[in-house]
Amino acid sequence: PLMLAWWFQKREGQLRPLDFLAAGALLAVPAALIMKQPDLGTALLVLAAGLSVILFAGLSWKLIVPPVLVGLVGIGLVVFFGDDLCADGVRWPVLHDYQQQRICTLLDPTRDPLGKGFHIIQGMIAIGSGGVWGKGFMQGTQTHLEFIPERTTDFIFAAYGEEFGLIGGLVLIAIYSFLVLRALVIALEAPTLFSRLLAGAVAMIFFSYAFVNMGMVSGILPVVGVPLPFISYGGTAMLTLGLGLGILMSIAKSKRLVQS
């Protein structure tokens, strides 16, 4: 996001289609290297942050709608033909075997309930067993009997949902929504193009992390290694997301300084 925001700042007022192609190349290089590791989940998060900068820079909706429609049609076809595509011996091009298995597991976790589907099934059981009000702090049976894998990092939302229930989950979603909306307001009021694009990208980073983590634990997205912002255990995520908040506060402060 920093690199792309700088790129568009340099070309403010004189953007051409070639500039958007160059921005796409700047984004494709790190995303491809991360995907090569392989780490598809992080590559998609990097793509989401970078594409948000390109979108906020003024990319035409006429260029956005077709690939979105193609993607939705592709998802629909995968869901419709899931049984045939996930049959034994079928290999998908481009994707690694473990990535194919994660998608197939998402479509039907009961295919291997004690193996590849164990994470999703136990996560949904934990969230459902929390009910409306939850079982109480540190009282979750699925969590503390170690049925939930990675319960302090990737699957912490399952532990949270079991202990604090539907109400606690809605409160957490409301907090993330406020954070993202506030970041977008800061982006809207930022004094320069660079700061607007950067603040918008940080907002999308928070949204992507929260949405992907909650989605994979709830069984609506494939399982990937993505932390829940400011909830999951881990110093790296806490540091980088904290830097994101610092960037937002710096942009908000610069707006007040310009006005004064």
pLDDT computed for residue 260 by the predictor: 61
Residue 199 vs residue 75, higher pLDDT: 199
The one-character DSSP state at 27 is H
Among candidate residues 206, 141, 137, 220, the one with its CA nearest the CA of residue 176: 206
pLDDT digits (tens, 9 = 90+) for 1-60: 889 999 998 888 788 888 888 999 999 999 999 988 878 778 888 898 899 899 888 888
* Residue 226, pLDDT score: 83
Which helix (H) or strand (E) element contains residue 242? helix 235-259
In the chain the first and final C-alpha atoms are separated, in Å, by 28
Question: Would you say residue 167 has pLDDT above 90?
Answer: yes
CA distance 154 to 165: 18
DSSP state of 109: G
Question: Is 222 within 8 Å of 102 (Cβ atoms)?
Answer: yes
pLDDT tens readout for residues 138-163 = 887 887 777 787 778 888 888 898 89
Phi then psi dihedrals of residue 131, to 5 deg: 65, -150
pLDDT tens, position by position, 190-224? 888 899 999 999 999 999 999 998 988 888 888 77
Cα torsion angle, 110, 115, 118, 120, sign: negative
Question: What integer pLDDT is reported at residue 179 of this predicted model?
Answer: 94
- In the chain, % of residues over pLDDT 70: 98
Instruction: Give me the count of residues in the chain.
Output: 260
pLDDT in tens, 33-48: 998 887 877 888 889 8
Q: Which pairs with CB-CB distance under 8 Å and at least 24 residues apart come from 149-152? A: 149/118, 149/119, 149/122, 150/119, 152/232, 152/233
Residue 85's SS3 state is: helix
Q: Among 97-101, 169-173, 238-242, 246-250, which is the least confidently predicted range?
A: 97-101
Mean pLDDT value across residues 167-181: 94
Q: Is the pLDDT of residue 178 over 90?
A: yes
Q: What is the mean pLDDT of the chain?
A: 86
Report d(CA 149, CA 143) in Å as an integer.
9
pLDDT at 131: 85
Highest average pLDDT, of 109-118, 147-156, 223-232, comes from 223-232
Confidence tier at 89 by pLDDT (50, 70, 90): confident
Look at 1-5, 84-88, 93-97, 195-199 and tell me which has the smallest mean pLDDT: 93-97
> Could you give the CA distance from residue 245 to residue 250 in angstroms, rounded to a whole number?
9
| pLDDT-above-90 percentage for the chain | 26
* Domain residue limits, the chain: 1-80, 117-260
Quick check: 258 pLDDT over 80?
no
